[in-house]
Structure 1
Amino acid sequence: MDSIIFDLDGTLWDSTAVVGEAWNSVLKAEKVQTELSQDDVKGVMGLQQKEIGQKLLPDLSGEEQQALLKQFSKVECQYLSARGGQLFDGVEEVLKELSKKYKLYIVSNCQEGYIESFYAYHELDKHFLDFENPGRTGLTKGENIKLIMERNKLKNPVYIGDTEGDHQAAKFAGIPFVYAAYGFGEVSGFDHSIGKFGDLLGIFG
């Protein structure tokens, strides 16, 4: 193994409290009679924008959903750059150790600017060599994993994530999958499972 590619939400951090505040501020400003809970936000983490709109705002038209989601994306990045999210225990220390032996990357199903917000507040970009997301490429998570592999000439990476979508993306890319069981989702299969972020050192340390 020469590299590790990470999902972000539910794997490296939990941003749902701050994201929920950001989204509700947009709904209030636009006088939409809906208030989202933190569980509502957790339930759509890892989905692409169209799916998020359909799940959270089913009473609105597709155009109305997309207009609000554009505002969600802009405002949540402002909130996260200023306040950050909740890193899972040990993330910074474990990344520091892993980066001594492996090349580290992020592939997340997010908009452009979201990973940059994670970097801006938590200053963890020094541990990662590259990242990708559908906001920049328009590609699926599996395609973005393959793009990172090709762009960085990776031979034997693994992908770490917490949802079935992450599992399927790793399968699409033809690489092993490590399930972050402490995250937001459940999966149908995995090559390794971790109950906390620090368990990675037991597998790859």
Structure 2
Amino acid sequence: MDSMIFDLDGTLWDPTDTILLAWESILKEDERIISKITKKDLKSVMGLQVPEIGKRLFPYLDEQTREQILEDCCLAENKYIEKYGGILYSYVEDVLKVLSQKYKLFIVSNCQDGYIEAFYQYHQLDQYFTDYENPGRTLLSKGENIKLIMERNHLFQSVYVGDTEGDQKAARYAGIPFVYAKYGFGQVREYDYVIETFDELVRIF
């Protein structure tokens, strides 16, 4: 194995409190929003691409309106993340430090452009990662972005660490093993490895 590729939300951290504050700053004055977005609502869509999030949270709005609202929310999200950060799971930095001495590390997340950069800015973890990718920059699916990262960085034996069924399918699409972060937001039935806590990665790899 030469590398490890990580999902972000539900795998490295839980940013939902900060995201909720950001979204509330945009939605509270918008008369088109008929129901308040809750933390449970946000957790239910973690890992999805932005257009799908819009369909699930605002099914009563037309596509153009959803796109405009989501764009505003995502811009606010990046600013709030950069300022307030999120909750890193236990031992994340310690584990990344150990793993980065043995493998090249990467992030592939279904987020908007600027989100991973905001994560790096607040938590100062970019020193452990070689590269990252997201559909906000490429307009590609997570599986395609994993393959892009592998091709761009000449990776041959990687694994993907994530917490949702979408992550599992993306790893399968890219043809690499999937490590299920069971402590995260999703429920996954099929996986190659499973971890109950982030630091178990050191024991497995």
Give TM-score, length-normalised by structure 2: 0.98
Alignment check: 8 A CA contact 1:107 1:145 kept:
yes
1:29-40 alignment, distance < 5 Å:
29-31=29-31, 32-40=33-41
How far, CA to CA, are the matches of 1:56 and 1:92 in structure 2? Answer: 33
- Matched with 1:111 is 112
Q: Deviations over 1:45-71 (max 9, x none)?
A: 111111111110111111111100000
Task: Measure how far apart 1:30 and its partner are.
Answer: 2.3
- Matched with 2:24 is 24
Alignment check: 8 A CA contact 1:27 1:33 kept:
no
* AA at the equivalent of 1:95: L
- Matched with 2:184 is 183
Q: State how many pairs are aligned.
A: 204
Instruction: Please say which of residues 5-14 and 17-26 is displaced more in the overlay.
Output: 17-26
Task: Measure how far apart 1:185 and its partner are.
Answer: 0.3
How far, CA to CA, are the matches of 1:29 and 1:87 in structure 2? Answer: 31
Task: Measure how far apart 1:6 and its partner are.
Answer: 0.2
**Aligned CA-pair RMSD:** 0.7
Q: Which runs of 4+ in 1 moved over 6 A?
A: none
- Matched with 1:193 is 194
* AA at the equivalent of 1:21: L
Structure 1: tracts of 5 or more residues without a match? none
* AA at the equivalent of 1:121: Y
Q: Deviations over 1:84-122 (max 9, x none)?
A: 000000000000000000000000000000000100000
Alignment check: 8 A CA contact 1:157 1:176 kept:
yes
- Matched with 1:7 is 7
1:64-79 alignment, distance < 5 Å:
64-79=65-80
How far, CA to CA, are the matches of 1:7 and 1:122 in structure 2? Answer: 16
How far, CA to CA, are the matches of 1:96 and 1:78 in structure 2? Answer: 27
1:159-174 alignment, distance < 5 Å:
159-174=160-175
- Matched with 1:138 is 139
Task: Measure how far apart 1:25 and its partner are.
Answer: 1.3
* AA at the equivalent of 2:189: S
- SS of 1:43's equivalent in the other structure is helix
% identity of equivalent residues: 57
Structure 2: tracts of 5 or more residues without a match? none
* AA at the equivalent of 2:7: D
Task: Measure how far apart 1:35 and its partner are.
Answer: 1.4
How far, CA to CA, are the matches of 2:34 and 2:21 in structure 1? Answer: 15
2:159 corresponds to 1:158: yes
How far, CA to CA, are the matches of 2:65 and 2:139 in structure 1? Answer: 21
How far, CA to CA, are the matches of 1:201 and 1:29 in structure 2? Answer: 46
* AA at the equivalent of 1:7: D
- SS of 2:37's equivalent in the other structure is coil
Instruction: Please say which of residues 46-55 and 101-110 is displaced more in the overlay.
Output: 46-55
Give TM-score, length-normalised by structure 1: 0.98
